[in-house]
Amino acid sequence: MAMPYAKAIPVAKQMCITSESPEEFEQRIISSYPFHPDIRDLYARFRENPGFRQTRGLIRLMRTVTAR
């Protein structure tokens, strides 16, 4: 599952879209499966917001993500 993304990373590096290595990106995909790895980063940004209720907020965020 993660291999096609890892193979696309060298092309993205040549286009200056990313600085990540294929191995790093593959590990991020594996560790965040079944979600996109950037969902974890998005959640971390919300978590820093003092008004964000972590459990309920995460459930609402994931419900929206999976519904779309």
Confidence class of residue 29 from pLDDT cuts 50, 70 and 90? confident
Angstrom CA distances, 61 to 15, 30, 42, 46, 52, stand at 31, 21, 10, 10, 11
Q: What is the pLDDT of residue 37?
A: 80
**Are 28 and 49 in the same domain?**
no
26 and 49 part of one domain? no
Domain span at residue 49 reads 38-68
Q: Are residues 52 and 29 in the same domain?
A: no
What's the pTM?
Answer: 0.48
Q: How many domains does the chain divide into?
A: 2
Residue 1 pLDDT: 59
